[in-house]
Structure 1
């Protein structure tokens, strides 16, 4: 996939080869295409796909989010995680109807591989902001049964740290000004790749 763009290299565990991006993008795309009944080419089998890793698969259509599902903790082989999250993003994201065969032609695929979560010790929101870097860190908030995460990509839409945090709290089901010493905060990096446009030969 010659037009594949690697848009971040904040995290490289040493287990991912240089050609990981094209392989993971093709794995996500063919998993969804096969579920839609389309004929697909086999994806190469690689040992590194058998290593546990956490991933997210994001679908965009004409610049708008069309689905995003992922794993925060490595609990299965990366290849299985990509397949499962690709199918979930396409057909089981509760925010959207399932992707149809017709619209699939114009969907852009993005895959992210996460670093291990790093728990932060923070006393207040000012302390938290001092420990995160816009554009670099993804963030996970947990408070009891409430949980929400934003990938680093979300900084493109919410570049101000206070706005980023308030919207993440909303996503977690918490008030935007919420704070508690029992709030758990984790940061992480991602290595991500995306198709800059619909694959060649596909309708847009």
Structure 2
């Protein structure tokens, strides 16, 4: 197995609900500022020291349950606060699958922040062996094939609970045929802690 491209994290934030509130607040504030909206009331914990530790996040935006943007980092290469703010703005304005979020949509979006563990490569003999090792509902998966790469967060298992269908869709995301397999394919898995805003109006 090749050396991991993911740097080791010397300090890992403590996972708790307070951290979730802080990350959601950071994401919401960043999107507000990017759209030229007034700042929201400050949370007392906004200067949480864990925001200065390295961390990797994905920020997912939905409206009425439908995806509206999702951008993230697979490796912890910068401060957690910078990562969640930058990914929030990118999900709102730079996800190529969607038009940039408008100020009118801002009150309707629901933000989810996922904090990733360090990915670990999976050792497998073939596709069947790889599929057998995946834990539906728990594993986020990264697929590498040369310069092609794609990932699914663990939340995707909610729509694709069967391993083979999950892998087929992941290949498609990497712009590979659903029946493609190669000795060059590498897979890595990670887990997430996730926090989601209440639905608008709740």
- 2:7 aligns with none
Find the residue that maps to 1:165 and give its secondary structure.
Answer: helix
Give 1:67's match in structure 2, choosing from 57, 66, 69: 69
Q: Would the aligned equivalents of 2:114 and 2:194 in 1 still touch at CA under 8 Å?
A: yes
Confirm whether residue 21 of structure 1 aligns to residue 46 of structure 2. Answer: no
What corresponds to 1:91 in structure 2?
Answer: 93
Post-superposition CA distance 1:16-57 (Å, at most 9, x none):
444111111111011101111111134511111100011000
1:33 correspondence with 2:35 = no
TM-score, normalising length: structure 2: 0.89
Q: How has the CA–CA distance of structure 1 residues 82 and 15 changed in structure 2, closer, same or farther, with 3 Å as cutoff? A: same
* Counterpart contact for 1:16–1:48, Cα < 8 Å: no
Long gaps (5+) in structure 1: 1-12
Q: Is the 8 A contact 2:13 2:53 kept in 1?
A: no
TM-score (norm 1): 0.89
1:80 corresponds to 2:86 = no
Deviations, residues 38-77 of structure 1 (Å, cap 9, x unaligned): 1113451111110001100000011100000000000000
Structure 1 residues 120-129 or 40-49, which shifts more? 40-49
Which deviations, in whole Å up to 9, do the C-alpha atoms of 1:150-202 show, x marking residues without a partner?
000000111111000000000011111111111110000000011130266xx
**Which structure exhibits the higher relative contact order, with contacts defined as CA atoms closer than 8 Å and separated by 6 or more residues?**
1
Matched residue, 2:54 = 52
1:113, 1:192 within 8 Å by CA — same for their partners in 2?
Answer: yes
CA distance in 1, matches of 2:16, 2:193: 12
CA distance in 1, matches of 2:156, 2:15: 24
| Partner Cα separation in structure 2 for residue 128 and residue 184 of structure 1 | 10
Question: 2:133 maps to what in 1?
Answer: 131
Unaligned runs of 5+ in 2: 1-11
Please tell me whether the aligned partners of residues 75 and 118 of structure 2 are also in contact (alpha carbons under 8 angstroms). Answer: yes
Q: Across the two proteins, how many residue pairs are aligned to each other?
A: 188
